[in-house]
Every structure is written in C-alpha cells, then in structure tokens.
Amino acid sequence: MMSLVIPCLVAGVGVFVVSALIWMVVRWHDRDIQQLPDEQSFVDAMKVQGLCPGLYMWPHHGGDKQVLQSPGFQERWKKGPWGVITICPRSPNYLRNLIGSLLINIAVAFGVGMSVGLVLGGVQLGAGVLVSCTACQILLPTFILGSMAYCLGGLGTDLFLGKPSRFIGTSLLDGMIYAGVQAGLLFLLWPGLE
C-alpha cells in the first residue's frame, strides 16, 4: 500500500488544481450564487437580529412539534418566503479554506486509491508490487468511487436545504470532472502498471 502514497497525493493535488481552475478561470459558478437586490439593508436587518454564527432556516419551528402543527406556523410555511442562511463568525480565511479543500481532496484520493488497491489485492505492504491490473480494474472503480465521493457527498444536504437546481447541476458536473481527473492520475501513476 505504500506504493500508492505518491499516486494518491498527486491525484488529490490534481483535483485541487482542477477545482481552482473551475472556480477561478472557467467561473461557471458565478451564475450559481445570486447577489441580494439591496444587500446593505439586508445586512442591517441581520445586525438588528443579533444573529450568532450558525445555520438558520425559516420558517422554523424550533424543534417544537406543537409549534410545527400550529395554524400560525402552517400559514407561514405555506405563504413563504423560505430560506436558509449561514452566518459566519468572521470574514472568509481563503488560505485556511484552500488548505482544507486540498486536504479533503487528498483524503478522497487516498480513500479511493487504497480501497481499489485492497480490493485488487495486488498491492503488497512494503514491496509495492502490483500484479496483473488492467485499465478496467483501476480506472473504472476509481472513477465510480470518486464520483460517489465528489457528487453524492453533499447532494442530500443541497437538496434538503433547497439549493437551486443550477447550483446542484454545476456541482455534480464538477464532481464528475474531479472523479475523472482523480481516476486518470491514479491510473497513470498506479504502481506496476505498464
């Protein structure tokens, strides 16, 4: 399994680089996140609320079943608007966020690479020898597992919190690209593959 360390690191860094290119060069996510029509009055209204950092949803019943079933809550629920908002404790620390993203990409690459290596049974600890691996034995499973990690990881939450379908669609497209990059790099660098 030690022979997979470098391929997994390279695959994780490769996905990180492609992610950065998608967000900073291709920029198809620019249309996913909308600007408020009157941002300053919205921010002022939030300040009046005295919101602490956290995730807020409205209308919300506070976990109280009686409130949930009350006519007043039901009316607010039917009438809308509904929303979810995250209040951050401070301005974004992009360096910390980028490092966190890089570490997650590397962790996914390690999970995928090591899982496929263990299933193949051809990677031996220490020796790093891989016996009779074909493209289908490496490329397809690493792509499938990567797709599951990058596409399905946040999909349930995105759907539940009502993120727009375009945002979900472009995130799924990102995930498929990340899985493809990861699978390709793992395949190209797989130990013993000729």
**How does pLDDT run across 146-183, given as a tens digit for each residue?**
999 999 988 888 888 888 889 899 999 999 999 999 99
Return d(Cα 192, Cα 133) in angstroms, integer.
8
**How does pLDDT run across 8-37, given as a tens digit for each residue?**
999 999 999 999 999 999 999 999 888 999
List, as one string, the DSSP characters of 163-188: --HHHHHHHHHHHHHHHHHHHHHHHH
Closest CA to 146 of 99, 178, 185, 186: 178
Tokens at residue 138, please?
Answer: 């490496």
List CB contacts of 57: < 8 A, sequence separation 6 or more: 82, 83, 84, 161
Q: What angle do CA 153, 157, 159 make, to 5 degrees?
A: 110
Global confidence as pTM: 0.77
Instruction: Give domain limits for the chain.
Output: 2-35+93-189, 40-87
Quote the percentage of the chain above a pLDDT of 70. Answer: 91
